[in-house]
Amino acid sequence: MSNVREATPADCPQILELIHELAVYEKEPDAVRNTVQDLENHLFGADPKVFAHVAEDDAGTVIGVAVWYLTYSTWEGRHGIHLEDLYVRSARRGSGTGTALLRTLAQICVERGYKRLEWAVLDWNEPAIKFYDSIGASSMDGWTTRRLDGAELTALGTEGAAR
């Protein structure tokens, strides 16, 4: 069984290691630009906007991570949690670690009156989809995730700006 707790600054090297493992799993091994310093600044700085919980084994080794941030529903008038990343080391999958991490986030939602716990999953990731289905998560059919980044983000963000 795994113990889930709020991450601490000392966990950042292991969290980054898990982020790299996730990138390999998601077929983007060279995409991670994050650093231990970035994680420390963003998770534990003066005004954090992102949060993390870790799961550790009996020896205290971090075996899973949930990185999340708050959202806001204009319809509900309440906050929610967006789960940016959920990752469990491959050797520990099926042990209840992912469920324990999600249960912790669901408990935070319930305790704080948040109305939603949401996340995205790659459409090819059948094991994850089956796992999410098994805990009762529903698919947001009819919604498509959109992203603006790189040159397009810069172009839109600087369009019409004083030069």
Is there a contact between 102 and 66 (Cβ–Cβ < 8 Å)? yes
Check if 132 is active-site. Answer: yes
Over pLDDT 90: what percentage of the chain? 90
Beta partners for residue 80, in sequence order: 71
Alpha carbons 7 and 15: distance in angstroms, whole number = 9
Helices (H) and strands (E) in the chain, counts: 5, 5
Residue 94 phi, psi (nearest 5): 85, 0
d(CA 81, CA 108) in angstroms, rounded, equals 9
Tell me the pLDDT band of 163, cut-offs 50, 70 and 90: very low
Strands 62-73 and 78-88: antiparallel
- pLDDT tens, residue by residue, 57-70: 999 999 999 999 99
Q: Looking at residue 11, what DSSP letter applies?
A: G
**Phi/psi-derived region of residue 52, left when phi > 0, alpha when psi is between -120 and 50, beta in every other case:** beta
Q: What's the DSSP call for residue 110?
A: H
How far is 129 from 105, CA to CA, in rounded Å?
18
**Per-residue pLDDT tens digits for 15-52:** 999 999 999 999 999 999 999 999 999 999 999 999 99
Q: Which residue has the higher pLDDT, 162 or 69?
A: 69
Sign of CA dihedral 123, 125, 127, 132: negative
Question: Contact at 8 Å (CB) between 54 and 65?
Answer: yes
Confidence category of residue 130, pLDDT binned at 50, 70, 90: very high
pLDDT number for residue 92? 93
